[in-house]
Structure 1
């Protein structure tokens, strides 16, 4: 509970309170659970004050000094904290619903699980603040500084982030459905894998942003800046608006690889023309070569399953590292993300099935080759034996019969009596020397 002496001093007014704080700086005031609703606390010095679970409903704390104050679980709904300094404050689970925090300084504050529902944070500074699982739904975040902020699990649904600064902030684990990102600064921000479909990014600054694998179907990028952004494997459609986009160059792969254009800059409007044209194509990327049988199977399968959607191979481009890119033309109104997913799934399925067949054929072929090798080895043995016989005959010409050996027969045929054991052979024996 609150220290009654400290509370009594505060009730004498801000001037008395601030003088007491100045005279006794070592004292840490305790105002826990105090009810300060509708109290005028303009310019009050609450540095390092314990305001845990304090009730400040409708309180006016304009320009109050709350540096390092403990406001955990404090209830400040509809409170006026305009220009208040809450640097390094402990605000976990505090309730700021519909409170006015415009131009307040909340840098490096602990705002975990804080409720900012419909609060006004216009032009507030939240640099490096911890907003893990905070409720920022329907909050006015116009021109707010959210640089290097932890937004893991934060709720930004329907929040207005017009002209906000999100440099270096990772919003990938935040919920930002229906949020307004117009004129937001996303310089060097990682947005990879996010579903940004149908959101408003008009005039947003996406310089050097990572847009790898984003979904941007129907997204409004009117007058946005894309210079230096990575757009590897992103998904856009004919409803994606690139009107007036500003872009000198982009990268087709991460880590600033495959710059387009390879040298120089895009001419004004060239980026928009190129990517409006690319809306009618799908890039199929193969990193380990292409099994054309599997490709043909998946190609036909996608056409059939998409009610005869015409597909046409537009180009095949060989990239570095053995990567092949097959660009397929589709109808401008086709669902590119769906077709791309279905094609790659069909291709992988067919490639695995065909690999099993290839392996079976290879095993059969290996067995056939083994039999052929055995037969060839037997032939070599015969040839070698014939060679030995011929050598023996050449070395012993006197034992060779003058009879033409092509017609010699065993068991009743003609043989050379000089080199045959007569007791072991049946038939007529002729001695040509007799």
Structure 2
């Protein structure tokens, strides 16, 4: 349980708390436990709570902007509508926390754990999520615009209408997930694993899909206009029915436009790759 003296000092604000914490750290008398405390609506902006146990704590509506929260345990806590913008949350554990409508814009969330977390309508705009774990989280209407998710785990995601506009998802794992209606326009998905995932009606306009793996995935009615499809890996089970693609690029940096002139009609992308696959199979059968 939280120490009453520590709690009383915390609610006095960042200046007094941070000065007092430094003194307590030096004396090794700091109790780093705010387990099950009610801090809903509290102003904790700029506070240094790095290393604390805030599991099962009520922080709904709290202001944690610009806070130092490195390796804090937020598991099973309530942080709905909390403001964690520009906070330092490297290595934080948000396992099974409720973060609906929280604000993480410009936060550093490198190596953070969001496994099984409610992230509905969360704002992650311009945040850093390098190698974070978002597996099995609910990302419906979540905004990752201009965020960095290189090497992150998004496997088993349930999402409807998530936004990844201009996000960087290089080498991320999006397999076995549902991203129906998601917006990946101008996103960098190079070398990402997108196999076994439902991307029906998703927006990949001007996206970079260089060397992605999309085996057994569904792109029904998705939009690939202007996307880079160089060396992407699909198979006979990849569904491109009714996909929209007026043109795409077979090279990086918008090189090798296909078609060179004019545009494809809706559904032609599926036929194009079907013919290409049949040709390759025919050549293989002939031993060429």
The answer as to whether partners of 1:67 and 1:89 remain within 8 angstroms in 2 is: yes
Determine the structure 2 residue equivalent to 1:17: 31
Determine the structure 2 residue equivalent to 1:336: 264
Q: Deviations over 1:402-434 (max 9, x none)?
A: xxxxxxxxxxxxxxxxxxxxxxxxxxxxxxxxx
Q: 2-side partners of 1:209 and 1:339: how far apart? A: 16
Determine the structure 2 residue equivalent to 1:59: 67
Alignment of 1:8-407 (within 5 A): 8=8, 10=10, 11=17, 13=21, 16-18=30-32, 28-233=36-241, 234=243, 239-241=248-250, 333-337=261-265
The answer as to whether partners of 1:218 and 1:241 remain within 8 angstroms in 2 is: no
TM-score between the two structures when normalised by the length of structure 1 = 0.51
Structure-2 change in CA distance of 1:198 and 1:74 (3 Å): closer
- The Cα of 1:200 is off from its aligned counterpart by 0.8
Structure-2 change in CA distance of 1:226 and 1:85 (3 Å): same
The answer as to whether partners of 2:89 and 2:112 remain within 8 angstroms in 1 is: yes
The answer as to whether partners of 1:209 and 1:228 remain within 8 angstroms in 2 is: no
Structure-2 change in CA distance of 1:183 and 1:100 (3 Å): same
TM-score between the two structures when normalised by the length of structure 2 = 0.75
Q: 1-side partners of 2:166 and 2:233: how far apart? A: 23
Determine the structure 2 residue equivalent to 1:7: 7
Q: Which has the higher contact order (CA 8 A, sep 6+)?
A: 2
- The Cα of 1:192 is off from its aligned counterpart by 3.8
- Secondary structure in 2 matching 1:336: coil
Q: 2-side partners of 1:218 and 1:77: how far apart? A: 33
Structure-2 change in CA distance of 1:47 and 1:226 (3 Å): same
- Secondary structure in 2 matching 1:216: coil
Q: 1-side partners of 2:41 and 2:179: how far apart? A: 35
The answer as to whether partners of 1:211 and 1:229 remain within 8 angstroms in 2 is: no
Q: 2-side partners of 1:195 and 1:49: how far apart? A: 38
Q: Bigger CA drift: 116-125 or 188-197? A: 188-197
- The Cα of 1:195 is off from its aligned counterpart by 4.5
Structure-2 change in CA distance of 1:103 and 1:338 (3 Å): closer
- Secondary structure in 2 matching 1:113: coil
Structure-2 change in CA distance of 1:166 and 1:6 (3 Å): same
Q: Deviations over 1:224-269 (max 9, x none)?
A: 22244425545656644179xxxxxxxxxxxxxxxxxxxxxxxxxx
- The Cα of 1:220 is off from its aligned counterpart by 1.2
- Secondary structure in 2 matching 1:151: strand
Determine the structure 2 residue equivalent to 1:366: none
The answer as to whether partners of 1:48 and 1:67 remain within 8 angstroms in 2 is: yes
Q: Deviations over 1:327-373 (max 9, x none)?
A: xxxxx634330697xxxxxxxxxxxxxxxxxxxxxxxxxxxxxxxxx
Q: Deviations over 1:71-96 (max 9, x none)?
A: 11111111111000010111111111
- The Cα of 1:123 is off from its aligned counterpart by 0.8
Structure-2 change in CA distance of 1:37 and 1:236 (3 Å): closer
RMSD over aligned Cα, in angstroms?
Answer: 2.9
The answer as to whether partners of 2:185 and 2:206 remain within 8 angstroms in 1 is: no
Task: Structure 1 unaligned segments of length 5 or more: list them.
Answer: 244-275, 281-331, 341-434
- The Cα of 1:197 is off from its aligned counterpart by 4.0
Structure-2 change in CA distance of 1:4 and 1:75 (3 Å): farther
Structure-2 change in CA distance of 1:241 and 1:40 (3 Å): same
Task: Structure 2 unaligned segments of length 5 or more: list them.
Answer: 11-16, 269-288
- The Cα of 1:37 is off from its aligned counterpart by 2.0
